[in-house]
Amino acid sequence: MHVCKMIVNDVSAATMFDVLHDSRYRKKWDVTMQESFDIARLSANADVGYYSCDVHKAGQEYSNWKSQNSPDLKPWLYPEQNTLPMMDPAELSIQRADSLENVDESSKLDANEGEDSS
């Protein structure tokens, strides 16, 4: 589930929806993403995955990129295209937001620290 509010004057809501769900395109625009992977489908329209994200200006280049990269593949809109294995929702555990506040990420590099400045 994605919950966000933003105003992007030159990108449609449908394109931004696709930008957020297209994991192949995310690798192109999300320079802060350290890891991303799909895990399983819970139902036709719900899946479980892991990623970190930063959506700054991603939508502006998506339409051009998508037209050249599997333009008809949108499993987030067309569940019949989803090839992930099914998963029983009972296998998921609940992780409350307050338990995430004290996660130690000190071993993770800052996105800018990993870049070569030369």
Crossing angle (nearest 10°) for helices 13-21 and 59-68? 70
In a domain, 105, yes or no: no
In a domain, 1, yes or no: no
In a domain, 61, yes or no: yes
- pLDDT of residue 74 exceeding 90, the answer is yes
In a domain, 95, yes or no: yes
Confidence class for position 9, pLDDT limits 50, 70, 90: confident
In a domain, 118, yes or no: no
Q: Taking CA 89 as the corner, what is the angle to CA 88 and CA 92, rounded to the nearest 5 degrees?
A: 110
Range of the domain at 17: 13-100
Q: What is the pTM of this model?
A: 0.43
Count up the domains in the chain and report the number: 1
- pLDDT of residue 81 exceeding 90, the answer is yes
Distance CA 6, CA 19 (A): 14
In a domain, 52, yes or no: yes
In a domain, 2, yes or no: no
Which residues touch 38 (CB under 8 Å, ≥6 apart)? 23, 47, 48, 49, 84
| pLDDT for position 67 | 95
In a domain, 115, yes or no: no
